[in-house]
Amino acid sequence: MASENFENIIKKNEKIIKKSTFNGLIITVIITIGIASFLGGSYISNLDSNQISQEELDEAIAKLELKILQNKLPSNQPIVELKISADNDPTIGNSNAPITIIEFSDFQCPFCAKFHIQTLPKIMDEYIKEGKVKLVFRDFPIQSIHSNALLASVAAECANEQGKFKEMHDKLFENQKEWDSKNTDNVIILFNQYSSEMGMQKEKFDSCIKNGKYIKEIQKDLEDGRTYGISGTPGFFIGNDEVGFIELKGAHPFENFKNIIDNQLEKIK
């Protein structure tokens, strides 16, 4: 079958990322208590689904996250003193932008899609299009739970080879539910269809995917991500080598990114 080579590559390269159930439980409890306190006594005294809409709950969570970040952010120093490499991965925006967002992401991750659909467009409008920020996309496909994530990463890298990374990046996230449950053969057919719609050279793209050309590059991203403490997606590092990088885990709302980006831009003035 057309996908036989790729399936063998997947089996050889699959890495299971273990998560701590205990730590997750503790974090959930802390967040729940924090949200309850943040909402105030009028909600706590008689909490039910008729009184708090999902929109109100999401807003409360966003405000709580922002408040935590504001309390953490010092005036003169970054939170994380790490040397974070952008490697030679695809970049969205001006390569000379002073601030870099290095994202470790999984194309099949629903939270990564949420960031792409809800938050990235606002970052694009306010910072990336203005030349203040660039986004470097590093692959972190969690193959143990997302069976098509590695193939999607390869497709994006193959598209980047033809100058179409942003287009494929957008297509994969926007149509995640269209391809995430298909078998390998059908995913390859669909990704080839995407590439044709974008005007890519069909034979070059098809060969790139089937040969797993960028598997080693993706594996390096995974290894670097683990070195930096990435255990889930999406994960972000925001800054540069001069001011350092601030880590942000998860699909946060735009306000949380804005707070960090503005803080980092202020330091380089």
Please give the average per-residue pLDDT across 257-265, as a whole number: 96
Max avg pLDDT among 42-51, 57-66, 148-157: 148-157
* Structural element, H or E, at residue 10: helix 4-13
Q: Which CATH class is domain 79-267?
A: alpha beta
β-pair type (133-139, 99-105): parallel
Distance CA 107, CA 165 (A): 13
115-136 pLDDT, tens digit per residue, is 999 999 999 999 999 999 999 9
User: Could you give the CA distance from residue 162 to residue 205 in angstroms, rounded to a whole number?
Assistant: 8
Q: 3: pLDDT confidence band, cut at 50, 70 and 90?
A: very low
Task: Note the pLDDT tens digit of each residue in 136-186.
Answer: 999 999 999 999 999 999 999 999 999 999 999 999 999 999 999 999 999
| Mean pLDDT, all residues of the chain | 79
pLDDT (mean) for 191-217: 95
Rounded to whole angstroms, the Cα distance separating 143 from 206 reads 21
**What does the pLDDT read at residue 17?**
35
| Collapsed DSSP state (helix, strand, coil) of residue 236 | strand
Q: How far apart are CA 193 and CA 212, in angstroms?
A: 18
pLDDT of residue 206: 94
The mean pLDDT value for 92-118 works out to 96
Would you state the structure tokens that stand for residue 232, as one six-digit string?
């889930």
Break the chain into its structural domains and give their ranges. Answer: 79-267
Model pTM? Answer: 0.71
Q: Between 211 and 51, whose confidence is greater?
A: 211
Which three-class secondary structure state does DSSP give residue 185?
A: helix
